[in-house]
């Protein structure tokens, strides 16, 4: 790794030279990319220099051991050498982690889609529980949540809920939530006290910007209609609901939560753009599927990723064999331990591949 230091320093010099040019400042896309490269490279160089310094100190300490005859000095040097070697090992491991190319999507906001699966009303109620869990976690992290679309049941559950989450490192923290979330508990709707198993699917899509995905007007079919609510009653008396159909892919997005047709169309476009962007990412992932065999989970949304067992107060993440007996706290938004464990596992997997 240390042999690469001069090469990395030259790369950083080139980046700084480009960043100082007026034409770079005028190209925001290039400016953003160069800054991202710099923020990845700079800590690697700092850590490699730290390793270089530690190696020099280790060599000096070993020279003293060969030349020194004073007993106390020898003991002090041995202790110092042990600490230096430990620091070097830690720095080496940290550098390896820094060398993993950053996920270009990690800093993006997300569109999260929560849908009730098997289990009827109980699955819809658990979808509402998951939403509250993510909402509490977002509060802790200082993120902003906006509901884009919702389909509520009469008893407080959700058949479907689409929301945006924005803030620092949102996708990097929640990307591993995609998949099937299984719940085992006695439903509120069950009078016999029997434990039921239900499921909710969660999809986490990096929110695409207009520069990420171009949607051509001729590829889009737009239908407007009157919004309808639970039970079929009319929500309003104007044609405010919007259905967007992306003709090349067949993707359909319906948005009716807003009273304004313009607002519904804007929200539907956000969801459609993110779904199209996610399709592109899926294609890339399939192309390198063999290289990703060590990744945390398959990324398939049909994969059962987690079990929430209420009688045992247990959460189990099946991808990393993590079991925690504090489900009550996790459902209140204390999800950080799970998120960190998944990030570490993903980092270790990426390190193996690298």
pLDDT in the model for residue 351? 66
Do residues 136 and 177 touch, judged by C-beta distance below 8 A?
no
CATH assignment, 110-207+292-353: 3.30.70.1660
Which residue, chain included where needed, has tokens 């198993």?
A: 197
Instruction: Please tell me the distance from the alpha carbon of residue 60 to that of residue 75, in angstroms, as a whole number.
Output: 15
Do residues 182 and 307 touch, judged by C-beta distance below 8 A?
yes
What sign does the CA torsion over 341, 344, 348, 353 have? positive
Q: How far is CA 326 from CA 64, 207, 220, 264, 310, in A?
A: 53, 31, 47, 40, 10
**Residuewise pLDDT in 10s, the chain (354 residues):** 788 899 999 999 999 999 999 998 888 888 888 988 898 899 999 999 999 999 999 999 999 888 878 888 889 989 999 999 999 999 988 887 787 777 777 778 899 999 999 888 899 999 999 999 999 999 999 999 999 888 898 888 999 999 999 998 899 899 999 999 999 998 876 666 788 899 999 999 888 776 677 788 888 888 888 766 544 344 445 678 888 888 888 888 888 878 888 888 888 888 888 888 888 877 766 654 443 444 455 445 567 899 999 999 999 999 999 999 999 999 999 999 999 889 878 877 776 765
Fold classification of 217-285 is Double Stranded RNA Binding Domain (3.30.160)
- Region(s) of the chain under CATH 3.30.70.1660: 110-207+292-353
CATH assignment, 2-99: 1.20.58
Helices 28-67 and 71-99 cross at an angle (nearest 10°) of 160
Collapse the DSSP code of 146 into the 3-class scheme (helix H, G, I; strand E, B; otherwise coil) and give the result.
strand
pLDDT in the model for residue 286? 65
- Region(s) of the chain under CATH 3.30.160.20: 217-285
pLDDT in the model for residue 256? 83
The string over 189-227, giving b where at least 16 C-beta atoms fall within 10 Å of a residue's C-beta and e elsewhere, is eeeeeeebebbbbbbbbbbbeeeebebeeeeeeeeeeeb
Report the predicted TM-score, pTM, of the whole model to 2 decimal places. Answer: 0.66
- Region(s) of the chain under CATH 1.20.58: 2-99
């Amino acid at each position: 790794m240390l042999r690469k230091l001069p090469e990395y320093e030259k790369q950083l010099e080139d980046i700084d030279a480009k960043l100082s040019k007026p034409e770079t400042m005028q190209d925001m896309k290039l400016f953003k990319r160069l800054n991202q490269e710099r923020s990845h490279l700079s800590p690697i160089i700092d850590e490699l220099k730290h390793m270089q310094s530690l190696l020099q100190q280790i060599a000096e300490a070993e020279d003293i051991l060969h030349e020194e005859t004073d007993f106390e000095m020898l003991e002090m040097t041995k202790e110092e050498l042990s600490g230096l070697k430990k620091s070097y090992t830690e720095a080496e491991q940290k550098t390896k982690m820094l060398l993993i190319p950053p996920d270009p999507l990690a800093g993006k906001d997300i569109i999260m889609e929560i849908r009730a699966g098997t289990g009827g009303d109980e699955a819809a109620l658990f979808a509402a529980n998951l939403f509250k869990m993510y909402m509490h976690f977002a509060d802790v992290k200082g993120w902003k949540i906006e509901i884009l679309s919702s389909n509520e049941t009469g008893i407080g559950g959700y058949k479907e809920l689409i929301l945006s989450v924005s803030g620092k490192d949102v996708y990097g923290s929640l990307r591993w939530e995609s998949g099937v979330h299984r719940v085992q508990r006695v439903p509120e709707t069950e009078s016999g006290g029997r434990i039921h198993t239900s499921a909710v699917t969660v999809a986490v899509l990096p929110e695409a910007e207009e520069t990420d995905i171009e949607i051509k007007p001729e590829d889009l079919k737009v239908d407007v209609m009157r919004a309808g609510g639970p039970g079929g009653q009319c929500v309003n008396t104007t044609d405010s609901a919007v259905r967007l159909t992306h003709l090349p892919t067949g993707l359909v997005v319906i948005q009716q939560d807003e009273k304004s047709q313009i607002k519904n169309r804007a929200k539907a476009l956000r969801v459609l753009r993110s779904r199209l962007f996610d399709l592109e990412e899926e294609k890339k992932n399939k192309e390198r599927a063999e290289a990703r065999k060590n990744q945390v989970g398959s990324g398939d949304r049909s994969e059962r990723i987690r079990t929430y067992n209420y009688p045992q107060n247990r959460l189990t993440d099946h991808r990393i064999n993590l079991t925690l007996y504090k489900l009550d706290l996790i459902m209140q938004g204390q999800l950080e331990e799970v998120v960190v464990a998944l990030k570490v596992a993903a980092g270790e997997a990426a390190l193996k591949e690298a």
